[in-house]
Amino acid sequence: MKTYFILTVLIFFLALFSSSSCKKTKECLATSKGRIIGYDPCRYYTPINKIKDAGFVIEIDNGVTKDTVVSYNISDDLFQFPYIDGNTATNGQFLYTPDTQDKFKIKFNYRFALENEKTAVICLANIWTGPFYAAVKGKEIFITCISQQ
């Protein structure tokens, strides 16, 4: 009887710890606030894509710190995104102006994309992508339940 009780308690604690094992990994879903601050210049300036699924740069507000990521699954009808002159693609500009960025505040759930899930983007040769890649550092997220803030 004593062995049965100890075994039951052990199984209970194992089940409890295994169900709460989700730490801050890339597979976990997180809720956050942030704002859309720019776009992927390669997707935006590719003639076949234009704004549709352009890839938006998002500043995630983590409270004390902020993180910059890119997402390719934001609908372009969430906001009235401004038209960007094609000449800015050659100088590496991918951010909206600061006053425009404040218009695109969002609340959303997200998870980081795994390496095999990341979006492959082919870029035109005349687009300088250095500042964009430095900002997002390969961090792509999938967004769900997005809404304006």
CA distance 53 to 76: 7
Neighbours of 95 (CB within 10 A): 19
This prediction has a pTM of 0.71
pLDDT at 24: 42
Q: What is the pLDDT of residues 24-35, one digit of tens each?
A: 444 456 678 999
- For residue 59, give the H/E element and its range: strand 56-61
- Residue 115 to residues 51, 90, 121, Cα–Cα distance (Å): 25, 28, 14
**What is residue 79's predicted lDDT score, i.e. its pLDDT?**
84
**Rounded Cα gap, residues 109 and 119, in angstroms:** 19
Spell out the per-residue pLDDT of the chain, length 149, in tens. 566 555 554 454 444 444 333 344 444 566 789 999 988 888 766 655 454 567 899 999 988 888 999 998 887 778 887 765 554 444 557 888 888 888 999 999 999 999 999 888 877 777 778 888 888 988 999 988 888 88
